[in-house]
């Protein structure tokens, strides 16, 4: 790839992480090297059983095994900062063709990383790297930097009928 773009998957609907994982598989199939950093998540979902077997893919998780609530704990902040530093190193290396920063948008909204840090990460993207940023509540400063924005909108969800997340479908 001569030029890599910045893609943002956002919105309240289901499918942002799933879309990013699909893009990772497509890139790997084309012989590209992919980094997948998951912020705010410390529990591997079902997709990891397959993804971890693939060559040319590095996965790092930067979250505690519990959900980040309205008041992030020190462990949440520490994990997000660890993810920020690691992702910065990954981007600066230029070693990867595709860099996915899953749930990075939420890290800003929950004040786990600053706007300055967020912009600094984007600034470090080498020309050839495709950068994918996911998570609800993408801010205007992120949207302004993006080349592609996909917004997942919830029209209807079985969760509201009492159906909890199902293994292999929702996680």
Per-residue three-class SS string for 33-89: CEEEEEECCCCCCCCHHHHCCCCCEEEEEECCCCCCCCCCCHHHHHHHHHHHHHHHH
For the entire predicted model, the pTM comes to: 0.92
Mean pLDDT of the chain: 92
Complete domains list, the chain, with CATH:
16-151 (3.40.50.300)
76-116: pLDDT as tens digits: 889 999 999 999 999 999 999 999 999 999 999 899 999 99
């Amino acid at each position: 790839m001569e030029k890599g773009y910045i893609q943002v998957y956002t919105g309240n609907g289901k499918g942002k992480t799933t879309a990013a994982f699909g893009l990772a598989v497509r890139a790997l199939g084309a012989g590209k090297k992919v980094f997948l950093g998951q912020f705010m998540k410390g529990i591997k979902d079902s997709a990891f059983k397959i993804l971890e077997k693939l060559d040319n893919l590095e996965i790092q998780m930067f979250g505690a095994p519990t959900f980040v609530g309205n008041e992030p704990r020190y462990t949440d902040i520490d994990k997000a900062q660890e993810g920020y530093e690691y992702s910065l190193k990954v981007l600066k290396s230029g070693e990867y063709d595709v860099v996915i920063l899953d749930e990075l948008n939420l890290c800003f909204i929950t004040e786990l990383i600053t706007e300055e840090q967020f912009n600094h990460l984007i600034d470090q993207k080498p020309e050839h790297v495709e950068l994918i940023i996911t998570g609800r509540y993408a801010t205007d400063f992120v949207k302004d930097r993006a080349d592609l924005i996909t917004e997942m909108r919830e029209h209807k969800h079985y969760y509201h009928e009492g159906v909890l997340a199902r293994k292999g479908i929702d996680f």
